[in-house]
């Protein structure tokens, strides 16, 4: 559903080398945490060029696959499950009830358990933005990860010991295609210093805060990955609750004790990756619930602001971070398809999309949304949404909007297109699948002229939504009960 469980050449290279990295250097530990496990995301970026250059090196790929016996993502997850041993059971300590979570989620604890001790991790722009204008009670503490990291001093004897251990191991693999390169040595020694600081400050934080439960939405990067392993070390619950669509690169490997997923599709997907079903709870999605609660913009105001004729059919296109040629292709499709149709395309670029859409603007036929306009104000006032595989498809379906799924040829991309994830909307029958500009025009014309056809496509989206997202319960009601239950069970 969100990427096949069977691995392709990209994954054999990416994860075969990752398994090798974690096994060869597994003895390099700090505070009982294997250092390579903290660096998996950075290692993937380091090997990107090698992976991309060897996608058709079949002899090497077959050799790597046989060496580690990896055929599915479940095999990869199992091979990377180097779980630390429980060193101390902090769950037995009295009054250990502080909840650690990203500051980006601050609205949730403020609404649902304002009297609980909460430590808000401030790591990035999203965390800082979420805190703007929020009045925090005394029991809510902001914790700046970067500031804390800058204050950590690792003893030189510790660094020297681990560097020496690394050099000894390196001397045994000097012919390795990755580890034998001088740039790998420089890379590892640089990131070793970071890893030691990360592990040190997070280990210290858990012991002193005192943390009773960790709640996060990403586990492959710092600090989530280290916190998940430290949670095992201290027998504390770590809950992984994705807020946006994820695929394997965002969750493999995973060490969480529980998973709060949106619906049956994600539950089934995780089970195919070896996650025990007893650890998976269907909760819906907090981010969608809070975003939907934003104040609505009257349609008249929306039309006036974007200069859209009142009788036009409105289709919103939400872009993604694909190569420039992909967005160019899609904009040419849109331009070629509208011509004399009474239709307006509203362009909503992804925040990280730098493509220049202004050259395609055509009066009231193709318009660009202001960056400050809230997504839900756009979705509420649109008739249909068109995208490739964006989260916005689910958000549009929540608002009972029909989906047009664009499927241009997507070039391979190490990060954004390395499996079949970008076809998940088509595979699930979420809406109209479009493969060229002619199909787009024919179907747009039919949507405008045929009410029954519009209704049929909207129904498709609702069937897709039923298995994608639990709408029977409120996430902001279900999740607090589960969190408090996890704390009591410790």
The more confident residue out of 52 and 489 is: 52
Pick the CATH number of 83-285+476-489 from 2.160.20, 3.40.50, 3.30.160, 3.30.450: 3.40.50
Two tokens, residue 432: 């109209």
Record the pTM. 0.95
Write down the pLDDT at residue 339.
87
Confidence (pLDDT) at 291: 84
Provide the sign of the torsion angle of the four alpha carbons 224, 226, 229, 235, taken in this order.
negative
Percent of the chain's residues with pLDDT above 70 = 99
Residue 290 has a pLDDT of 87
CA distance 299 to 381: 6
Q: Which parts of 69-214 fold into alpha helices (H)?
A: 73-79, 107-112, 125-131, 145-150, 156-170, 182-208
SS3 label, residue 20: helix
Angle at 374 between CA 379 and CA 362, to 5 degrees: 65
Do the domains at 83-285+476-489 and 299-468 have one common CATH topology? yes
DSSP helix/strand/coil, 344? strand
Could you identify the residue written with the tokens 């109209």?
432
pLDDT (average), residues 346-375: 95
Half-sphere exposure (CA, 13 Å, Cβ side) for 198?
A: 24
> How many Å apart are CA 97 and CA 483, to the nearest integer?
11
Of residues 452 and 485, more confidently modeled: 452
Cis-peptide into 223, omega within 30 deg: yes
pLDDT of residue 292: 80
Mean pLDDT computed over 257-275: 97
* CB of 132 closer than 8 Å to CB of 106: no
Q: Could you state, in order of their start, the residue ranges of all structural domains in the chain?
A: 83-285+476-489, 299-468
| Residue-level pLDDT at 486 | 83
Mean pLDDT of 288-303: 89
Distance, in Å, from the CA atom of 477 to the CA atom of 167, rounded to the nearest integer, reads 52
In the predicted structure, residue 9 carries a pLDDT above the cut 60: yes
Contact between 450 and 244 (Cβ < 8 Å)? no
Position 319 pLDDT exceeds 70: yes
Give the span between the Cα atoms of 435 and 210, in whole angstroms.
54
CATH of region 299-468: 3.40.50.2000
Task: Please provide the average confidence, as pLDDT, over all residues in the chain.
Answer: 96
Dist CA 315 CA 454 (whole Å): 13
Residue 489 pLDDT: 67
Q: Which of 80, 56, 105, 45 is nearest to 480 (CA)?
A: 105
pLDDT tens track for 224-238: 999 999 999 999 999
Q: What is the model's pLDDT at position 294?
A: 74
């Amino acid at each position: 559903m969100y990427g096949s469980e069977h691995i392709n050449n990209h994954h054999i290279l990416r994860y075969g080398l990752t398994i090798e990295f974690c096994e060869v250097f597994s003895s390099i530990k700090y505070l009982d945490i294997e250092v390579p496990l903290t660096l998996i995301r950075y290692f993937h970026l380091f090997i990107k060029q090698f992976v991309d250059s060897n996608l058709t090196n079949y002899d090497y790929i077959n050799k790597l696959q046989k060496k580690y016996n990896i055929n599915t993502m479940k095999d990869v997850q199992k091979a990377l499950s180097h779980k630390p041993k429980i060193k101390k059971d902090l769950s037995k300590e009295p009054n250990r009830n502080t909840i650690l979570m990203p500051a980006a989620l601050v609205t949730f604890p403020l609404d649902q358990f304002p009297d609980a001790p909460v430590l808000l991790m401030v790591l990035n722009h999203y965390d800082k933005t979420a805190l703007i204008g929020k009045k925090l009670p005394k029991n809510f503490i902001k914790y700046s990860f970067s500031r804390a990291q800058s204050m950590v001093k690792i003893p030189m004897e510790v660094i020297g010991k681990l560097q020496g251990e690394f050099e000894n191991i390196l001397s045994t693999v000097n012919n390795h295609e990755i580890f034998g390169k001088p740039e790998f040595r420089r890379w590892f020694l640089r990131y070793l210093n970071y890893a030691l600081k990360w592990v040190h400050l997070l280990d210290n934080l858990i012991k002193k805060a005192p943390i009773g439960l960790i709640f996060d939405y990403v586990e492959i990067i710092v600090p989530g990955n280290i916190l998940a392993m430290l949670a095992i070390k201290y027998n504390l619950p770590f809950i992984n609750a994705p807020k946006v669509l994820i695929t394997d690169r965002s969750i493999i490997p995973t060490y969480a004790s529980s998973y709060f997923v949106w619906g049956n599709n994600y539950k089934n997907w995780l089970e195919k990756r070896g996650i025990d079903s007893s650890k998976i709870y269907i909760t819906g999605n907090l981010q969608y619930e809070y975003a939907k609660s934003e104040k609505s913009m009257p349609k008249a105001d929306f039309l006036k602001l974007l200069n859209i004729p009142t009788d036009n059919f409105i289709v919103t296109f939400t872009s993604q971070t694909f190569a420039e040629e992909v967005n160019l292709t899609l904009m040419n499709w849109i331009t070629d398809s509208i011509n004399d149709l009474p239709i307006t395309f509203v362009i909503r670029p992804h925040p990280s999309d730098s493509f220049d859409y202004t050259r395609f603007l055509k009066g009231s036929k193709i318009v660009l949304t202001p960056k400050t306009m809230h997504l839900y104000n756009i979705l509420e006032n649109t008739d249909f949404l068109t995208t490739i595989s964006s989260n916005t498809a689910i958000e549009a379906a929540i608002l009972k909007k029909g989906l047009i799924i664009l499927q241009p040829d997507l070039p391979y991309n190490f990060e954004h297109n390395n499996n079949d994830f970008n076809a998940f909307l088509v595979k699930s029958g979420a809406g109209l699948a479009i493969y060229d500009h002619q199909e787009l025009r024919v179907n747009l014309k039919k949507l405008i002229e045929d009410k029954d056809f519009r209704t049929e496509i909207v129904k498709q989206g609702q069937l897709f939504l039923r298995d994608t997202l639990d709408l029977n319960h409120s996430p902001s009601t279900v999740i607090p009960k589960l969190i408090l239950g996890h704390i009591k069970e410790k």
